[in-house]
Chain A
């Protein structure tokens, strides 16, 4: 049952979106968010939507998968919509009790929902087309300049990749421990909240012990291979921008400029 949880959500593929340098994709995602927050009119939202549609098409990710990703934040979307709908001052269209629905409210709520939905979909596109390892690699390189300010960028990236690497392992382990305790009659499904919390002890103790054991073994294995942190460390796969990265970034620059210009004229 625990195996059904998907993490990282990376869909392997061979599209242009998959082949782009992870740094390009991270930059694009940041720029996309900026664009989204600059958009104020139907025209500029239309442009961003078109952009997102193109991205989805190019990546070959099933639109269904993107929509499914929205499910966990459905509540936040509805909540935001309701708040904006009811509390934006302006030309009153309908009112009851203390609530007033205004024309501006309808527009704001609509745009808000559009903004959040597209924001989530756009960032999902990044994680769907980029493997977690490539993602951390890209982040590490992009944040490289921060090393001058003594930010341990490499170490942070390493922590992130190790964490990602061990999530499936620990899920499998939890599954095994749960089965073993169930075989001894442990009951995780019934009882009061307190009893259920107590029932977790037989899972958590072995899980923590095994996590520490694994951490210890990993540390020894890394030492054996002379890992000593960032200094003097080279990469097997060096990230290099290709022509397609420059092209995509340039194309995106034009779109961003267009949206900003439109925003300047109040569109």
Chain B
């Protein structure tokens, strides 16, 4: 796999020349591979949001570069809007950005800004709506009459409708109830599977990330401290705890079992894996 986005030595400083000057992102280098499902985790204030706002050119690096494909996204600042169409960013609590009279018009806002024709816009709106798990009967309703979860799905559909090469979601399940959370993640998983596009999900819930992504990047103190497959990352549980993060509940159980003397891999992170490991163990004893 080749990288679709490369972050090279990125630094972003807030409040230059004031007493509040600080680096929100400090010399970060990372790669996002084409077609992967990447999870970015980090506690509050670790620089997650600042980092992702660089990926589509909403923030300009204080120093360093962002390469999309082979091109520096700031090579021609006039074309930065194009980058935003190719790298779709869904903010945290995106439902607060809805503004149109109907759901249809709101989802069509992005594609319209791209200058597509009516027919193409119509196709994209309907397909995005389906990916977000909403029915077409909502298209003519006012977005403000919908429930919280539906509003969020409309907002996400508004970004999906641009059909970006990379979809970035900042805490897409924050504030939803457990059932809403599950179905939201399932929709995102399906979108990734069917479209085959790159998806980046930012979260601070270990369980959520563990169950969904191919690869994890851990952010702490304005830098990337670890990255790798969930198994690689969760096998370094102590380091995660040191930077104020946790490991998935399943991993916690496995670690405790290991401590109690069972010969078990402490880095398993899904219920199915733990079950398999435990069965194998019992088979081994009996």
Contacts and interface: CB of A to CB of B under 8 A. Distances in A.
B81 interface: yes
Interface stretch (A68-76, A159-167, A178-186, A255-263): A178-186
A209 B99 CA distance: 9
Interface string A150-192: 0000000000000000000000010011011111111100000
Interface in A175-234: 176-177, 179-187, 201-202, 205-206, 209-210
B97 A206 contact: yes
B140 to A, nearest CB: 18
Q: Which 10 A-B pairs have the closest CB atoms?
A: A185-B113, A205-B99, A180-B97, A184-B110, A183-B89, A180-B91, A202-B99, A179-B58, A206-B99, A206-B97
B158 interface: yes
Nearest to B15: A3
A164 B89 CA distance: 32
Interface in B40-91: 53, 56, 58, 81, 84-85, 88-91
B162 interface: yes
Interface in B71-125: 81, 84-85, 88-91, 94, 96-99, 109-110, 113-114
Interface in B130-175: 144, 158-159, 162
A210 B93 CA distance: 12
A176 B91 CA distance: 9
Main secondary structure of the interface of B (DSSP, over half): helix
A183 B99 contact: no
Contacts of A209: 96, 144
Nearest to A176: B91
Contact of B96 (A183, A184, A186, A206): A206
16 contacts: A176-B91, A179-B53, A180-B91, A181-B97, A183-B91, A183-B159, A184-B110, A184-B158, A185-B81, A185-B84, A185-B110, A185-B113, A185-B114, A187-B81, A206-B96, A206-B99
A185 B162 contact: yes
A205 B159 CA distance: 19
A184 B113 contact: yes
B96 A210 contact: yes
Given A176-B91, A209-B144, A183 B56 contact: yes
A205 B100 CA distance: 8
B48 to A, nearest CB: 15
Contacts of A173: 96
Nearest to B18: A4
B96 A177 contact: yes
